[in-house]
Chain A
């Protein structure tokens, strides 16, 4: 459950950017990592109390996401699709290696707050605080997210950009600003996901985002890329599949990443639009 909700948080970032720009933000998984690290540094170096540090980290990461869009993606927006993809792969690798160079490859121990690490006993069942809090926080964030996208003016602008970018521009909407905002929102969610992930698995490394990133991406594809509710459903499905693979047969635990990729490939081949995705008409 908590794994699935983390994938859902990340998957929304992929889906939002894809819905608007029709392009896969490969660097999203690294933004996730930046989120976890910035929270770590806010706590350890500046000694800020945990909730404030987490909030600051989320803001900082949103800023990073916007910067990436401004510096790397905006110049290639009108270029062929393949250039944008290559740029995204490059940005992703750049952030990973920047992480390796600046903070080093050695894993750092992430200190999770008291309420996360507490252990509850309900009857004979023991549950850690993480398992309870992660889904709760996730659902809270998702509710905020849905409110922003479906009930506010900027959300309306985002939805209209994803429907028709040219028409939106003609309506006098500053498309670049909307896209920036989308990146900020997606990155903020990724940062929240990264921090919660670090609470669940308190070992952070510069490459921590790679596998969660791909699984979240699979979740976005499974749910129907471009659709926010789809991304949430997909996240939970992927989380479930991953846990079930190990639960059904512990011998298969080495293949758990393989299983997720298999799901990705099968979905791409059988139903590339996913569960809730709309079929895209091809434009000539």
Chain B
């Protein structure tokens, strides 16, 4: 049994195990908890895709909320039932192709994938001009583009219904769909990160000039990272749209990017494991922290609920992280099968002291 085959088998078993856990959770846990779980899974997709461009390719983008918006609107337009479409666009009719059809339930994954395609196309359009820029200029250019997308969403009423948003999207994003997309994202991006493309991206991150001198086509690799990242951001946006059954420009505002930024920084820029774990953890913690915003009575002291308190805590956390613990929880390390096997010592063909996929930095 070759090493590679065994790892593939382990991955398949692990995925099966995850689905069994999801089934058990779906059967025994209540609706509210499952909603948190699904949100967490969607955040995994979004955060891991964002980490590809920010952490692995090292290009600081502030645009994922724009690509998520593209995906979200795409899914909304494809999945919304016809009678609901007439109801939503009562002022101005919806533009032609979307006015005459809508997808049935079995085609939901296709709609989400098309949402991903919308995100990828958006990333291509944004990336081709702006990836020539570096550092802060790139950050601003991507921010500018994502703001333009949001401004368009606010004003193109025949497509997006403006600031009112689109309501009544069927809630097809069940826990299995969310889990499947999260797994696909993690698998695709971790395989990409460990391929020759991924190594090229990491070399660009570490020293762009040196990478160029080594003959790596910089622009091509940056664009690849950007488009793949845009695809999965679109997927996440589409799932999110179905999960909360509504899309609006304010939902995909900059605070979405900000949350994702906290997640990937906390998990460690460049660590897919880190992003996955913190994305899930962040969702749970931000639900748990809701009590901060509700009125609290401690003995005679009454603290009225203040909304915005959670964001205050999160932004403070981000700044503190940057000052004191810049590498996040995982740094650039990954938990891979090599690592797990060598840890538990049942690797018959000799234990690697330095696991292949784990980077010591």
Q: CB of B294 within 8 A of chain A? A: no
Total number of residue pairs linking A and B with CB closer than 8 Å: 117
Q: CB of A3 within 8 A of chain B? A: no
Q: Report yes or no: A268 in contact with B315, Cβ–Cβ below 8 A.
A: no
Taking a contact as CB atoms closer than 8 A, the residue among B258, B306, B323 that contacts A101 in the complex is: B306
Taking a contact as CB atoms closer than 8 A, the residue among A86, A90, A262 that contacts B148 in the complex is: A262
Q: CB of A83 within 8 A of chain B? A: yes
Q: Report yes or no: A268 in contact with B133, Cβ–Cβ below 8 A.
A: yes
Q: CB of B97 within 8 A of chain A? A: no
Q: CB of A75 within 8 A of chain B? A: yes
Q: CB of A113 within 8 A of chain B? A: no
Question: CB within 8 Å of B: which residues of A?
Answer: 22-24, 72, 75-76, 79, 81-83, 85-87, 89-91, 93-94, 97-98, 100-101, 105, 214, 217, 221, 254-255, 257-258, 261-262, 264-265, 268-269, 272, 282, 284
Among A82, A217, A255, A262: residue with most chain B CB under 10 A: A82
Q: CB of B340 within 8 A of chain A? A: no
Q: Report yes or no: A261 in contact with B323, Cβ–Cβ below 8 A.
A: no
Known interface pairs A98-B312, A265-B141; A90-B155 also in contact (CB < 8 Å): no
Give a binary string over B16-33; 1 marks a CB under 8 Å from any A CB, 0 the rest. 000000000000000000
Whole-angstrom distance between the alpha carbons of A57 and B62 in the complex?
32
Q: Which residues of A contact B209 (CB under 8 A)?
A: 282, 284
Q: Which residues of A contact B154 (CB under 8 A)?
A: 254
Known interface pairs A76-B322, A97-B308, A284-B209; A268-B141 also in contact (CB < 8 Å): yes
Closest to B306 in A: A101
Supply 20 A–B pairs (Cβ within 8 Å), ascending by A: A24-B136, A24-B140, A72-B319, A76-B322, A76-B323, A79-B322, A86-B261, A87-B318, A87-B319, A89-B62, A90-B322, A93-B315, A97-B315, A101-B309, A214-B147, A258-B151, A261-B147, A262-B144, A269-B133, A282-B209
Taking a contact as CB atoms closer than 8 A, the residue among B136, B265, B316 that contacts A23 in the complex is: B136
Closest to B163 in A: A254
Closest to B54 in A: A82
Q: CB of B145 within 8 A of chain A? A: yes
CB distance from A75 to the nearest CB of B (A): 4
Chain B interface, DSSP helix/strand/loop, else mixed:
helix
Closest to A262 in B: B148
Taking a contact as CB atoms closer than 8 A, the residue among A83, A90, A269 that contacts B132 in the complex is: A269
Question: CB within 8 Å of A: which residues of B?
Answer: 54, 58, 60, 62, 129-130, 132-133, 135-137, 139-141, 144-145, 147-148, 151-152, 154-155, 209, 255, 258, 261, 265, 269, 306-309, 311-312, 314-316, 318-319, 322-323, 326
Q: Report yes or no: A89 in contact with B323, Cβ–Cβ below 8 A.
A: no
Whole-angstrom distance between the alpha carbons of A94 and B258 in the complex?
11
CB distance from A210 to the nearest CB of B (A): 9
Q: Which residues of A contact B309 (CB under 8 A)?
A: 97, 101
Closest to B138 in A: A268
Whole-angstrom distance between the alpha carbons of A264 and B312 in the complex?
29
Q: Report yes or no: B319 in contact with A264, Cβ–Cβ below 8 A.
A: no
Whole-angstrom distance between the alpha carbons of A85 and B316 in the complex?
15
Q: Which residues of B contact A85 (CB under 8 A)?
A: 60, 135-136, 139
A100-B308, A214-B147, A258-B155 provided; 14 other pairs, C-beta below 8 A? A23-B136, A79-B322, A79-B326, A83-B322, A86-B318, A86-B322, A87-B318, A105-B307, A262-B144, A264-B140, A268-B130, A269-B129, A269-B130, A269-B133
Q: Report yes or no: A258 in contact with B318, Cβ–Cβ below 8 A.
A: no
Q: Which residues of A contact B136 (CB under 8 A)?
A: 22-24, 81, 85
Taking a contact as CB atoms closer than 8 A, the residue among A23, A81, A97, A258 that contacts B311 in the complex is: A97
Q: Report yes or no: A265 in contact with B318, Cβ–Cβ below 8 A.
A: no
Whole-angstrom distance between the alpha carbons of A262 and B139 in the complex?
15
Q: Which residues of A contact B311 (CB under 8 A)?
A: 93, 97, 100
Whole-angstrom distance between the alpha carbons of A269 and B311 in the complex?
33
CB distance from A97 to the nearest CB of B (A): 4
Whole-angstrom distance between the alpha carbons of A260 and B91 in the complex?
28
Q: Report yes or no: A89 in contact with B130, Cβ–Cβ below 8 A.
A: no
Q: Report yes or no: A90 in contact with B318, Cβ–Cβ below 8 A.
A: yes
Whole-angstrom distance between the alpha carbons of A45 and B54 in the complex?
45
Closest to A91 in B: B319
Whole-angstrom distance between the alpha carbons of A268 and B143 in the complex?
12
CB distance from B323 to the nearest CB of A (A): 4
Q: Which residues of A contact B322 (CB under 8 A)?
A: 76, 79, 83, 86-87, 90
Q: Which residues of A contact B140 (CB under 8 A)?
A: 24, 217, 221, 264, 268
Ordered nearest first, which 6 A-B pairs have the shortest CB separation? A258-B151, A90-B318, A100-B308, A93-B315, A94-B315, A97-B312
Q: Report yes or no: B58 in contact with A265, Cβ–Cβ below 8 A.
A: no
Among A22, A81, A101: residue with most chain B CB under 10 A: A101
